[in-house]
Amino acid sequence: MDATITGQVKARLEFLGYEVVKAEEAFIAKHPKWPNISFQEHGGGFLFSTTYAIKETAKTRKAEFLEYINDLNRHATLVRFHTGTDSSLVAKCWMPGCYDKTIFDSFIELMNNDITALIFNHKKTNVFF
């Protein structure tokens, strides 16, 4: 077992049903029910993120798309949303670099709930995705 915090995070995600693989600079965690995420060490903790491709509509109706992102952020508890460099929607959140199984489970649950409840239940999502 990897005793590092990164190893503990990876192991816990695997316990929670994610398939976790090491990529170049980050780990990629895929789950059959929850959003796929990547995570990496960042700023004394871990940065978790997921990216969604957007329709051309988001590019042509940029002001409306940015208002949509602002609305997601207004209602988010943990996650912060922004546009990606490749015309995408990015959801990110940061976790301090200490590990506690119970707190980590709550963090992952809150992150997944923010992403799924906000994106998939927003009335404008079908316009942009």
* 33 band by pLDDT with thresholds 50, 70 and 90: very high
pLDDT grade for 85, boundaries at 50, 70 and 90? confident
| 85 closest CA partner among 49, 120, 116, 115 | 49
Interatomic CA distance for residues 73 and 19, integer angstroms: 28
Q: What is the pLDDT of residue 86?
A: 75
* Residue 111 in this model has a pLDDT that exceeds 80: yes
Per-residue pLDDT of 41-81, as tens digits, reads: 999 999 999 999 999 999 899 999 999 999 999 999 999 99
Strand order in the sheet with 27-30: 19-22, 27-30, 37-42, 45-53, 88-96, 80-83
Range of the domain at 45: 5-128
CA 105 to chain centre: 14
Number of domains in the chain: 1
CA distance 127 to 32: 25
The CATH number covering residue 105 comes to 3.30.1460.10
Rounded to an integer, the average pLDDT of 96-113 is 95
Is the pTM of the predicted complex or chain greater than 0.85? Answer: yes
- Residue-level pLDDT at 1: 52
Q: Is pLDDT of 101 > 90?
A: yes
